[in-house]
Amino acid sequence: MSDPLAWVLYRDDAILAVNKPAGLPTLPDGYRSAAPYLAGLLQEAFGRLWVVHRLDRETSGVIVFARTADAHRDLNRQFQEHAARKTYHALVVGRPAWDERVIDLPLRPDGDRRHRTVADPAAGKPAATACRVLERLADYALIEARPLTGRPHQIRAHLAAEGLPLVGDLLYASQGGRLQGEDGARLRRLLIADAPLARLGLHACALTILHPVTAASITFEAPYPADFAAALARLRP
């Protein structure tokens, strides 16, 4: 595993922003409590940190930690009030007919036996994701996704509901029996066997917050990791 110093995008006395590698959980894994995790590795290098938000294990990209209790309180407020602006790039199976749209679909976290976030117009909580197609690539597309609310697995659930599951995301692609039959077998191949990326196709590429001490707007940008960049290169003509 690389040196945590190499992940740093920004640091001062109040905050630490890093480019999280894919495959590393933000917090300890309940099933593998002794396995490395992001917050633990960073605390060994930088001292005590307060967790403000999380990224899934297989998601790469920018994540910010507080370095003081005061900074933690302020950042928590920003995330709770949706003042923090998050931008993701998603590699999906499918070619959307639209160029831009807001997916406005209520979601219910932990909504089925597999603990997925499910679309539920009746009992779900309001959820919206602004999407823009960046590139169409054969059987795939690169989509910019900006969550306007903060539901668990919001981007995965919204894009899957649009028929655009993330590369590597069998969990959400399988909803509604979509992996059954001949069409389902083809979708499974595109998701896994023939996919250009051997993990979840999601990268947190930018995060904008107000600095908890100065109140200045600050944006952290995380470049693509090697596997994500190589996947796009293989798909481009």
Q: What is the pLDDT of residues 141-180, one digit of tens each?
A: 999 999 999 999 999 999 999 999 999 999 999 887 788 8
- What is the amino acid identity at position 69? A
Count of domains for the chain: 2
Q: Is the pLDDT of residue 34 over 80?
A: no
Q: Which residues contact 62 (CB under 8 A, 6 or more apart)?
A: 9, 17, 18, 19, 20, 204, 205, 206, 207, 220, 221, 222
CA distance 189 to 64: 35
Q: Would you state the pLDDT for residue 205?
A: 98
Q: Which residues contact 57 (CB under 8 A, 6 or more apart)?
A: 22, 23, 24, 25, 29
Is residue 115 domain-shared with residue 188, that is, in the same domain? yes
Residue 129's CB is within 10 A of a number of other CB atoms, namely 25
- What is the amino acid identity at position 156? R
CA distance 155 to 179: 20
Residue 66 φ then ψ, to 5°: -90, 150
Is residue 57 domain-shared with residue 131, that is, in the same domain? no
Q: Would you state the pLDDT for residue 171?
A: 92
For 168-176, which contacts have Cβ atoms below 8 Å and span 24 or more sequence positions? 168/58, 168/192, 168/195, 168/197, 168/198, 168/199, 168/200, 168/201, 169/200, 169/201, 171/114, 171/116, 172/116, 173/93, 175/116, 175/118
Is 29 in contact with 37 (CB distance < 8 Å)?
yes
* Structure-token pair, residue 105: 């679909």
- Please confirm, yes or no, whether 56 is among the known catalytic residues: yes
Name which of 11-15, 25-29, 46-50, 69-73 the model is least confident about: 25-29
Is residue 154 domain-shared with residue 188, that is, in the same domain? yes
Q: Convert the pLDDT of each residue in 185-236 to its tens digit.
A: 999 999 999 999 999 999 999 999 999 999 999 999 999 999 999 999 999 9
Query: Which residues form the domain of 18?
Result: 1-81+208-220
Q: Would you state the pLDDT for residue 111?
A: 84
Instruction: Look at residue 226 and tell me if it is in a domain.
Output: no
Is residue 107 domain-shared with residue 155, that is, in the same domain? yes
Q: DSSP labels for 174-229?
A: TGGGTTSHHHHHHHHIIIIIS-SSSS--EEEEEEEEE-TTT--EEEEE-PPPHHHH
Q: Would you state the pLDDT for residue 14?
A: 98
Q: Which of the pair, 33 or 168, is modelled with greater confidence?
A: 168
Q: Is the pLDDT of residue 1 over 70?
A: no
Is residue 182 domain-shared with residue 107, that is, in the same domain? yes
Q: Would you state the pLDDT for residue 189?
A: 93
Q: Would you state the pLDDT for residue 149?
A: 95
Is residue 8 domain-shared with residue 102, that is, in the same domain? no
Q: Measured between alpha carbons, how far is residue 124 from residues 47, 106, 107, 119 in Å?
A: 39, 5, 4, 7
CA distance 136 to 211: 36
Is residue 91 domain-shared with residue 188, that is, in the same domain? yes
Q: Would you state the pLDDT for residue 181?
A: 82
Instruction: Look at residue 232 and tell me if it is in a domain.
Output: no
CA distance 60 to 45: 20
Q: Convert the pLDDT of each residue in 92-114 to its tens digit.
A: 999 999 999 999 999 999 888 88
Look up the pTM and report it: 0.94
Q: Convert the pLDDT of each residue in 41-77 to its tens digit.
A: 999 999 999 999 999 999 999 999 999 999 999 999 9
Check 12, 13, 29, 56 and give the catalytic one.
56
Average of per-residue pLDDT across 26-35: 79
